[in-house]
Structure 1
Amino acid sequence: MIRKGRAAPGADRGSRRYGESGDSRDGDTAERGSLDPLDPASGYESPESSESSRTSRERETRSNRPTRSLKARALDYLSRREYSRTELSRKLAPFAEEGDSLDALIDTLEREGWLSDARFAESVVHRRAARMGANRIVSELRRHAVDDTLIEAVGAELRETEYSRAQAVWRKKFGELPQTPAERAKQARFLAMRGFSSATITKILKGDDDWGE
């Protein structure tokens, strides 16, 4: 009996022509190779264009979000601390759009009690009075365009306690009268920078005080 010889290993594979293989990897390779960067019809998308598309989609999503109203923004600011009329107007100005009346909004906030120059001045005094003189506090209120009448009233009230406040600041920093002209100049400069008047500084550095108080 004649035996049929077995085909040599790999004979089948060798007989297949290039391109007729059933190996899926060859097909994948061919498919990937068809994405030609130079051919727009191939569907190829570069990393740069992909990033650009994502950025455009994000920008479009943000633009479709509802814009917070100017009043809502103002109330958010006022919920954190007191503002003067001028300071709040400056802060809101970059967000005002065509048709927004900033002055009308400020008037409304003031009328409804959300905004008050008097409360703003009071908050400044509360934060500064223990460390600053009347001149420094008045200067800050002027920078915020607080009404002159209100500033004068605040200044007069501060000057009633000017000496005792300056004395407390001086004691905490130095505690001893200057012994030389250089020391005197240093202490005077320190108090002046904090807004205390020349008369108050002179009185303190001369020792015209009952230190037992």
Structure 2
Amino acid sequence: MSDPDAFRQAQADCLRWLARREYSRTELIHKLRGKGHDEATARSAVDAVSEDGLQSDERCVDSLVRGRVARGQGPQRIRQALRDKGLSPGSADALAGYDWAAVIAEVYRRKYGASQPASPKERASRMRFLAQRGFSGEQISALFRRLPRATEFEDLDID
């Protein structure tokens, strides 16, 4: 394949992938290299689709963050996903627009409903679940401080 043909093929590959979802520049270059394109052709094809406005790392960040928040992932896990996709840590500013207290409360409610942890072991298990989802210890502690204590319900005289 001649150089212009290789460039056109690499550009067509980029367009086909971008038609399905947003990709970072790094991901596209990696995928093109995996298909056998050389580094220079891969970079120039990605540059061309970026200049045409068809690829944007900012859109990729926004899409990834929105999707991960909707799946109930916390800021630490999302930051790691951004790094894995080759997006700069500074692009994590997209995380600042979210009410993480509301997000963690929704994740907790979906998993456990309104039930309280019955024992310290159960409480630790629930805290571990939230930590694995990417929420910080501070966010988890704040959530558990807001939860009513099980003993508060026992004190209510409901007959």
Could you tell me the TM-score, scaled by structure 1's length? 0.61
TM superposition outliers: structure 1 runs of 4+ over 3 Å = 96-100
Instruction: Confirm whether residue 127 of structure 1 aligns to residue 70 of structure 2.
Output: no
| CA apart distance, 1:109 | 1.3
Contact 2:73 2:133 in 1 (8 A): yes
Aligned match of 2:108: 170
Per-residue CA distance 1:167-188 (angstroms, 9 max, x = gap): 0110111122213110111100
Q: Give per-residue Cα distances to partners, 1:2-47, cap 9 Å, x unaligned.
A: xxxxxxxxxxxxxxxxxxxxxxxxxxxxxxxxxxxxxxxxxxxxxx
Contact 2:65 / 2:95 at 8 angstroms: preserved in 1?
Answer: no
Deviations 1:90-110 (A, max 9, x none): 111123446952212211111
Residue identity (%): 33
Do residues 143 (structure 1) and 84 (structure 2) align? Answer: yes
Contact 2:10-2:41 at 8 Å conserved across structures: no
Structure 2 residue identity aligned to 1:198: G
Bigger RCO of structures 1 and 2 (CA < 8 A, at least 6 apart): 2
CA contact (8 A) 2:29 2:46 kept: yes
Higher helix share: 2
Task: Assess, with a 3 A threshold, how the Cα gap between structure 1 residues 172 and 84 changes in structure 2: closer, same or farther.
Answer: same
- Runs of 5+ in structure 1 lacking a partner? 1-65
Alpha-carbon contact 1:178-1:205 (below 8 Å) kept: no
Structure 2: distance between partners of 1:115 and 1:128: 20
CA offsets 1:76-132 (integer angstroms, 9 cap, x no match): 111111000111111111234469522122111111111111111111112111311
The alignment status of 1:197 with 2:136, answered yes or no, reads yes
Amino acid at match of 1:128: R
Residues paired across the two proteins, number: 141
Following the alignment from structure 1 to structure 2, what is the Cα–Cα distance between the partners of residues 168 and 97? Answer: 45
Q: Does 1:118 align with 2:58?
A: yes
The whole-number CA distance in structure 1 between the counterparts of 2:39 and 2:135 is 46
> Are the aligned partners of 1:70 and 1:96 in contact in 2 as well (CA < 8 Å)?
no
What SS does the aligned partner of 1:177 have?
A: coil
Q: Deviation of residue 147 (structure 1)?
A: 2.2
Aligned equivalents of 2:39 and 2:21: distance in 1? 27
Aligned partners of 2:127 and 2:37: how far apart in 1? Answer: 50
Q: After TM superposition, list the pairs within 5 Å mapping 1:1-213 onto structure 2.
A: 69-97=9-37, 101-130=41-70, 131-151=72-92, 153-158=93-98, 161-174=99-112, 175-207=114-146
Q: CA RMSD in A?
A: 2.1
Which ranges of structure 2 fall in alignment gaps of 5 or more residues? 149-159
